[in-house]
Structure formats: C-alpha cells, structure tokens
Amino acid sequence: MPEPELRGRARKALRARAHALRPLVHVGEGALSEAVVAAVASALLDHELVKVRLQEPEDKKATARALADKTDAHLCGLVGHTVILYRPHPEKPREELQQLARGA
C-alpha cells in the first residue's frame, strides 16, 4: 500500500478532479483478472488519477479495495459502480495532483 493514506480533504479534492474524467478501464462480471489489474496499473502510470467502471460486481466495495491493493493505489472513492484510484508516478508525478493529494 502506498505510504500514507489520503485524508478526507485530499480524497474529496481528487474525486472532484476525477468528476470530468471518463472510465479508462471497464471490469466485466468476472473477478479481477491479471489482465485487468495490468490495464489499471498501466492507466495509473500514464494518468495517475483514473476511473474504473465495474459491471455488476458481487461486492463492489471489496472489488474496489482489492483493485486498489493490487495496483498499490489510493482508493479515492466509489461512486455507483465507478472506482476512483490515484497513484503518483514513481519518477515524475504531476504537481497539481500531488498538491491535491496533500489536501491543499
């Protein structure tokens, strides 16, 4: 899990930023496959803040948490069946997203 957990204000700011984004990855009815986890990890590397759409999950909260854990991302929120994840780029993080993650 990434070091330190995001606080409420930071999660709220990142959710607000993600509002205009479209889901980059769609997860089918099956469990999280390695291909889905790899696609989400790749999207996080490219964009840092992503939305993932779950199609009829059995337990959407558990699926969202598992996806965040497997991709070492912060779970910013779960709105309906859409998961919002944030993971800063390891080498060159986007400054505006870092400021939001700090709760600025």
More reliable by pLDDT, 101 or 26: 26
pLDDT band at 87 (very low <50, low <70, confident <90, very high): very high
Q: Which of 37, 42, 41 is nearest to 27 (CA)?
A: 37
More reliable by pLDDT, 104 or 15: 15
For residue 1, the model assigns a pLDDT of 40
pLDDT band at 4 (very low <50, low <70, confident <90, very high): low
pTM: 0.90
Separation of alpha carbons 39 and 33, rounded Å: 10
Note the CATH number of domain 8-101. Answer: 3.30.110.60
- Max alpha carbon distance in the chain (Å)? 38
More reliable by pLDDT, 91 or 101: 91
Residue 24's alpha-carbon distances to 13, 19, 72, 104, in angstroms, are 20, 13, 17, 26
Domain boundaries along the sequence of the chain:
8-101
Separation of alpha carbons 7 and 69, rounded Å: 17
